Structure 1
Amino acid sequence: MLAATLTAFGSPLAVRDVPDPRNRGGEVVVEVLATCVPPYADEVFSGERRYPLELPVIPGVGGIGRIVSVGPDATKLREGDLVWCDCTVRARDDALTPDITLQGWSSRGEGGARLARHLHDGSFAELMRVPTENVHPLPESADPVRWSALSVHTIPYGGLLAGGLEAGETLLVSGATGTLGSSAVAVALAMGAGHVVVPGRNRAVLDLLADRFGTRVTPIELTGDEDADRAAMSVRTVDMVLDLLPPQAPSSVARAAAMTVREYGRVVLMGGVGMLGGADLALPYPWIMRNSVTVRGQWMYPRTANAGMIRLVAAGALDLDAERFTTFGLGEVNEAVRHAAAHGGPFDRTVLTPAVR
């Protein structure tokens, strides 16, 4: 098969012939029809984000495809099924605190690194080997390119589940003008949020969100003054804050957003603040304690999120037709990475179609 391989950080991906993957028990081989290219992929491949990838590696964060072969322990999946392959792979020997790897992308700790060595390669290839439990059937009518956006939307969905977002509540999305933040706005409203406060510095994106979602969102243009921004974001009583700020964002922006939450409110941290150094978040202990605020982190999402996200899209609650998709063939993978970096705005997807000729 053909695959795009990263052989050295800072070098272009090389498209070349590699052996076809073979599934063992508990695994499935899938023909990859469509996979989203993250806007920050160039930062991963350059080494700027310092992801613990062991090279050479076929990168990629899951995708949509058709099953080529299944293991003997699969009872419902069949060859030819249209499926979503989730990149979030969990070790099977610890139900409470499983080690996790994002197949073909990143990992957590030594256990995650060991798991990544076993399931090393991702979806920038014509074929991919995936754990059986990471393969989720889709409606046959699903368009693979559009449904590849599941890999984006399910991340903030995991944060909204972690925070226990309830219908009618007001959510503040810190980092709302970014790829994941704008997705969080759409997913929250699809889940029944009553209102979403969307702060950011990009006026054009704030206007786009207001145009798409109308009176259910309140855009707040940030100034960089922490106290003034916190006051502006407190325009409504905020039940929950979801932080999805990127690594480059200063912790003061995350802190200002978090401290808008009401007494007994919830704050969920999913962004990258501090990953590249800089000041810590430093939320005041007395404020957390006296206001009975719950603060928790969430990396990715629970396994149940996959089925929930498919239902949201299949029911039409989350409209993928409102998004823009630009496709590239496998031979154009480096162009796709550059395009993704330049077109990382809200609902703008760059999609690689490895097995489509």
Structure 2
Amino acid sequence: MRAAVLTEFGQPLAVREVPDPSAGGGEVLVEVMAAGVLPYSAEVFGGARSYPLEPPVIPGVGAVARVLRTGPDATSLRAGDVVWCDPTVRSRDGGVLGDITLQGWSSRGEGGLLLSRHFHDGTWAEQAVVPTENAILLQRGAVGAAQAARWSGLGVPLITFGGLDAGDLRAGETVLVSGATGNFGSAAVAVALAMGAARVIAVGRNRSVLDGLVRRFGERVVTVALSGDPDADQRAMRAAADDPIDLVFDMLPPAVGAEVARSAAMTVREYGRVVLMGGVGMLGGDDLALPYPWLMRNSVTVRGQWMYRLDVVPRLLAMVRSGVLDLAGDDVTTFPLDDVAAAVAHAAAHGGPFERTVLVP
């Protein structure tokens, strides 16, 4: 089969013939129909993000695919089914504290790295092997190329759904999304509204993008354009909320300083929740340093969340199928596998709200 291969950090991906994969027990062999390209892919392949990815490797994080063969433990999937290949792979021998790898992308800790050496290759290929539990049914029977490409963008709202769910977002609550103008942050605005948030305070630096969120979603979205003055920005966020802020969801990128995240977090109400899911601090800089007395006296819950639990995936798919979360407005641009370099460059240049770059092997 043909695949895009990262042979060395800092080198262009090579599209070449590689051996066909084979699935064993507990695994599913799929034919990849469409695989998303994240906006920061070039940073990963160039080594700027220092991901624990071991070349040579076929990258790619998630895909829409058609089942070719299942292992003997599969009881409902069958050949021809169209599935979402979820990239968050969990060890099966660790209980509730199992290790995690993002197949073809990253991993957490020594156990995650060990797991990645088995589920090593991702989905930027004609075929892939995924754990049986990670092949989640989308549809039985044929799916058109355009629909597969649109569905392949599920990984972005899925991550934000995992974070909002971890924060126990409830219908009728007020949510503040810090970093709302990026690819993931804008998805968090859409998902929070789909989950029933009464109001979303969208916070970011890009005024035109913030205005676009209001045009897209209406009066349930209120925006705050950051000024660079942490105290003034915090006052503006509180004023925009009108009601107390129940949940602060942070999806700021690594280049942003901790003071921006701290200003947003400290707008949350007494007994409120803060979910940290962005990249603040990954490139160095100050720690978040939330004040101990403020946390204690206001009974604030702060939670870090990396990726999501497996059980949230079918719930998000149900939201998409029902139309509660609408993907029709996403701007999807597709590239054939041979144009993987162009796809990576396009994703880097088009990483704004609801922009999806997709490889179609």
Q: Which residue of 2 aligns with 1:170?
A: 174
**Which residue number in structure 2 is paired with residue 54 of structure 1?**
54
- Match of 2:328, SS state, is helix
1:139 offset after TM fit, Å?
Answer: 2.8
Aligned AA (1:187): V
Within 5 Å, give how 1:207-226 maps onto structure 2. Answer: 207-226=211-230
Letter of the 1:73 partner, please give it.
D
Distance 2:341 2:350 in 1: 14
Question: % of aligned pairs identical?
Answer: 64
1:135-166 CA deviation, whole Å, 9 max, x = no partner? 11113557111111111111000001100000
Is 1:229–2:233 an aligned residue pair?
A: yes
String of CA shifts for 1:223-265, please: whole Å, max 9, x gaps: 1111000110112221000101111110000000000100000
Query: 1:219 is aligned with what amino acid?
Result: T
Q: 2:356 aligns with which of 327, 349, 354?
A: 349
Q: Could you say what secondary structure the match of 1:240 adopts? A: strand
Question: How far apart in 1 are the matches of 2:272 and 2:127?
Answer: 45
- Match in the other structure for 1:322: 329
Matched, 1:248 2:252: no
**Which deviations, in whole Å up to 9, do the C-alpha atoms of 1:84-113 show, x marking residues without a partner?**
000000000022101000000000000000
The SS at the match of 2:95 is coil
| Matched residue count | 354
Residue 17 of structure 1: aligned partner: 17
Q: Deviations over 1:298-333 (max 9, x none)?
A: 000001111111000000001110110000000000
Cα shift at 1:10: 1.0
CA distance in 2, matches of 1:29, 1:207: 44
Scaled by the length of structure 1, what TM-score is found? 0.98
Measured against aligned partners, the alpha-carbon deviations of 1:121-145 in whole angstroms (never above 9, x if no partner) come to 0000000000000011113557111
User: Any stretches of 5+ residues in structure 2 without a counterpart?
Assistant: none
- The residue type paired with residue 245 of structure 1 is L
Q: 1:259 aligns with which of 266, 270, 277?
A: 266
In terms of mean alpha carbon deviation, does 82-91 or 232-241 score higher?
Answer: 232-241
Alignment-derived partner of residue 299 in structure 2: 292
Once structures 1 and 2 are overlaid, which stretch shifts more, 184-193 or 136-145?
Answer: 136-145
The answer as to whether partners of 2:174 and 2:247 remain within 8 angstroms in 1 is: yes
Within the candidate set 194, 197, 205, 1:193 is matched to: 197
Match of residue 308, structure 2, among 284, 298, 301: 301
CA distance in 2, matches of 1:88, 1:239: 28
Give the root-mean-square deviation of aligned CA atoms: 0.8
How far does the alpha carbon of each residue in 1:10-44 deviate from its partner, in whole angstroms, 9 at most, with x for none?
Answer: 11100000000000000001101101100000000
Distance 2:118 2:94 in 1: 17
In structure 1, the gaps of 5 or more residues are none
Give the partner amino acid of 1:297: G
Structure 1 residue aligned with 2:106:
106
SS in 2 for 1:322: coil
Within the alignment, does 1:97 sit opposite 2:97 as a pair? yes
Q: Which residue of 1 aligns with 2:124?
A: 124
CA distance in 1, matches of 2:188, 2:356: 15
TM-score by length of 2: 0.97
